[in-house]
Amino acid sequence: MLFKVFLAFLVAAAVGLDLNAIKRQKTTEPPPTTLAPISYTIVDPGPQAVKCDGACPTGWLYYSGSCYRKYSSSMTFSEAQNSCVGLGAKLASIQSQEENDVLRKAFDSNNVVTLKEQAWIGLKKQAGGWAWTDGSPVAFTEWAAEPTTKNCALFFVDSLTTYDYQRGLWKEFNCTQDAGSYICEKVAAA
C-alpha cells in the first residue's frame, strides 16, 4: 500500500501535479435531474371474441350469443356450408361493423396470403340480391369493391399478397372455386 502511495507521488511529481492542491478543490454536485412525466394512452381494442367453455365447444370463440370457428380447409362455398351444417353450425352471418371487426381480429393470422386463402362467409347472391344462407336480413355489408358477376362472398381475414384490399373487407368470389378457409357460427349454449 505504501508503495502505491509513493508511486502516485512520483507520477504526480513527474508530470507537475500538486496533489495537495487537487485535494483542496471543492467538488460540485451535479444539478438534480428532473424527470419528465411519462405520458401514455390506453387503447381500447374494442369488443373481442373470447374462449368460453361453458357456452362454446373447445376451439370455438364466443361473441354476443354466438360461437365462431375458422377452419383452414380448401373447399367450395357449398362444401364449406355443408361442413358447418355437419358441425351443428352455419357459415357466419355478419350483422354489424362491430361483429365484422370482432371476427377479423379473432381470425387474423398476421400472414400475407393469396385471394384463395381468404374465408367463406354465408353471403350468397340469390334471385332478389344478396342473402345470408341462414335467412337473416342483410342489414350490413363491407364490400371492398361493388360486387358484379360472382355469387358468393369471401371475408378478408388476412392481408393479400397484392395488398389490394384491407383486412375485414369482403369480396365476391366464384362459389364453385375453392377458398382456403371458412368461418362457422353456431348459437352459444345458455
User: What is the pLDDT, as a whole number, of residue 118?
Assistant: 86
> What average pLDDT does this structure show over 66-80?
96
User: What is the pLDDT, as a whole number, of residue 120?
Assistant: 97
> What average pLDDT does this structure show over 122-139?
93
User: What is the pLDDT, as a whole number, of residue 78?
Assistant: 98
Average pLDDT of the chain is: 84
Work out the pLDDT band at 153, boundaries 50, 70, 90. very high
The Cβ of residue 28 has, within 10 Å, a number of other Cβ atoms equal to: 6
> What average pLDDT does this structure show over 84-91?
98
User: What is the pLDDT, as a whole number, of residue 159?
Assistant: 65
Q: What is the CATH number of domain 70-183?
A: 3.10.100.10
Secondary structure E strands in 129-168: 129-132, 152-155, 159-160
C-beta separation of 173 from 126 below 8 A: no
pTM of the model: 0.74
SS3 of 51, please?
coil
DSSP type of residue 179 = B
Can you tell me the distance from the alpha carbon of 89 to that of 66, in angstroms, rounded to the nearest whole number? Answer: 10
Can you tell me the distance from the alpha carbon of 188 to that of 132, in angstroms, rounded to the nearest whole number? Answer: 19
Task: State pLDDT tens for residues 37-47.
Answer: 888 788 888 89
